[in-house]
Amino acid sequence: MAERVVVSAQDLAARVGEEIAVSDWLEVTQASIDQFAQATGDHQWIHVDVERSRRESPFGATIAHGFLTLSLLSRLFGDTLQVAGSRMGVNYGCNRLRFTAPVTAGSHIRARFRLKDLTAIDGGVQMAWDVQMEQQGAEKPCLVAEWLTRRYD
């Protein structure tokens, strides 16, 4: 397990343009896909019907919802980075987001976090992250995004 990177917003300001951290691998299980389907009401067979997906899907297995993959960024970020001195953080959105490859059930993903920009805001900072999420063994990333987060003092 990789050690969590602890860095202050001041230190991050000097590292704009750098890759700050790479998360550990996280398994995307069928159970997590099913739970996401239950929470969102998106029960499309390519996500939840294991047998049909094996037979009919071009991926040969069920795949995670794109928005499940996106949602895992918060977990991977929290497991990987801690912004010291902030009392809370929020997702602020994405300027750019693409699901560039399917994430099959049982696969492992990780995220690379490159700090694109850091801007002072009232009570804290806004950070723009260039994120690439990788699926173990795949040639191209499964998600690319410019993700905005805010940290408050």
Is the pLDDT score of 118 beyond 90? Answer: yes
Model confidence, pTM:
0.93
Contact between 86 and 80 under an 8 Å Cβ cutoff? The reply is no
Q: Looking at the predicted structure, is the pLDDT value of residue 3 above 80?
A: no
- Residue 37 located in a structural domain: no
Alpha carbons 42 and 7: distance in angstroms, whole number: 38
Q: Which amino acid is at 40?
A: T
* Digit-coded pLDDT (tens) for 59-112: 999 999 999 999 999 999 999 999 998 899 999 999 999 999 999 999 999 999
Within a domain: residue 56?
Answer: no
91 within a domain of the structure (yes/no) = yes
The pLDDT value given to residue 1 = 67
The domain total for the chain is 1
Question: Could you tell me if residue 34 is inside a domain?
Answer: no
The CA-atom distances, in angstroms, between 58 and each of 94, 102, 110, 138 are 29, 10, 23, 16
Q: In this structure, is residue 41 part of a structural domain?
A: no
Q: How many CB atoms lie within 10 A of CB 39?
A: 10
Provide the residue range defining the domain that includes 92.
5-27+66-152
pLDDT at 135: 97
Residue 33 domain-assigned?
Answer: no
Cβ contact 117:16 at 8 Å: yes
> Does the pLDDT value for residue 2 go beyond 90?
no
The 10s digit of each residue's pLDDT in 30-61 is 999 999 999 999 999 999 999 999 999 999 99
Phi, psi angles (nearest 5°) of residue 33 = -65, -45
Contact 69, 142 (CB under 8 A): yes
- CA-nearest of 141, 152, 20 to 70 is 141
Q: Is residue 125 part of a domain?
A: yes
* pLDDT confidence of residue 75: 96
Which CATH number characterizes residue 103's domain? 3.10.129.10
88-98/108-121 β-pairing: unpaired
> Does the pLDDT at position 139 exceed 80?
yes
Q: Is the pLDDT of residue 133 over 70?
A: yes
Place of tokens 């994120």: 131
Domain membership of residue 38 (yes or no) is: no
pLDDT digits (tens, 9 = 90+) for 4-20: 888 888 899 999 999 99
